[in-house]
């Protein structure tokens, strides 16, 4: 059998080991430095996606009808406008949320929606 004094020393040693392990454990990943870059990339992707879709639709229609530059130019400009509109909508949404995340009243079902349902 083991000595009770030895069990106590072993428990203290294990506690010290756990304390040092917790001290050296990696810190949780903080997303704040990356969130601004992610938002910027989101906006860039929205703009480029609008341009790409407009270009593809215009090129497809031009090759179908045999009028190469007409639909290509028109739909590319429409895609640019749609991409800018989507990008601005995202920026407005982010501005409304603020730095601390979404505000309570801005979420679906918030105070504004409840007032609309009640008829106020």
Q: Which residues constitute the domain of residue 76? A: 50-98
Please, is 86 exposed, middle or buried when counting C-beta atoms within 10 Å of its C-beta (0-12, 13-18, 19+)?
A: middle
Residue 30, domain member (yes or no)? no
Task: State the pTM of this model.
Answer: 0.55
Is 10 part of a structural domain of the chain?
A: no
As a whole number of angstroms, the distance between CA 72 and CA 55 comes to 6
Q: What percent of the chain lies above the pLDDT cut of 70?
A: 72
Domain membership of residue 61 (yes or no) is: yes
| Stronger pLDDT, 98 or 73, i.e. the higher one | 73
User: Tokens 């989507």, residue?
Assistant: 86
Look at residue 43 in the predicted model and tell me its pLDDT: 92
Please report whether residue 22 resides in a domain.
Answer: no
Distance of CA 34 to the CA centre of its chain: 10
Summarize the confidence of residues 95-101 as an average pLDDT.
70
Distance separating alpha carbons of residues 102 and 41, to the nearest angstrom: 20
**What are 4-42's pLDDT values in tens digits?**
788 899 999 999 999 888 877 766 655 555 578 888 899
Q: How far is CA 57 from the centre of its chain?
A: 28
Q: Which of 39, 31, 52, 33 is nearest to 91 (CA)?
A: 39
In a domain, 91, yes or no: yes
- How many domains does the chain contain in total? 1
Is 92 inside a domain boundary?
yes
Any idea which residue has 């179908």 for tokens? Answer: 64
Query: What is the C-alpha to C-alpha distance for residues 115 and 102, in angstroms, rounded to an integer?
Result: 19
- How many angstroms separate the CA atoms of 87 and 63, rounded? 29
Q: Give domain status of residue 24, yes or no.
A: no
């Amino acid at each position: 059998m083991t000595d009770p004094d030895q069990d106590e020393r072993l428990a203290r040693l294990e506690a010290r080991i756990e304390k040092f392990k917790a001290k050296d454990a990696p810190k949780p990943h903080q997303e704040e430095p990356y969130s601004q870059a992610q938002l910027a990339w989101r906006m860039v992707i929205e703009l480029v996606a609008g341009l790409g879709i407009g270009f593809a639709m215009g090129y497809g229609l031009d090759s179908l009808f045999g009028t190469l530059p007409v639909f290509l130019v028109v739909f590319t400009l429409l895609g640019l406008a749609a991409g800018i509109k989507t990008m601005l909508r995202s920026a407005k949404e982010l501005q409304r949320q603020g730095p601390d995340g979404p505000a309570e009243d801005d979420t679906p079902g918030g105070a504004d929606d409840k007032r609309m349902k009640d008829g106020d």
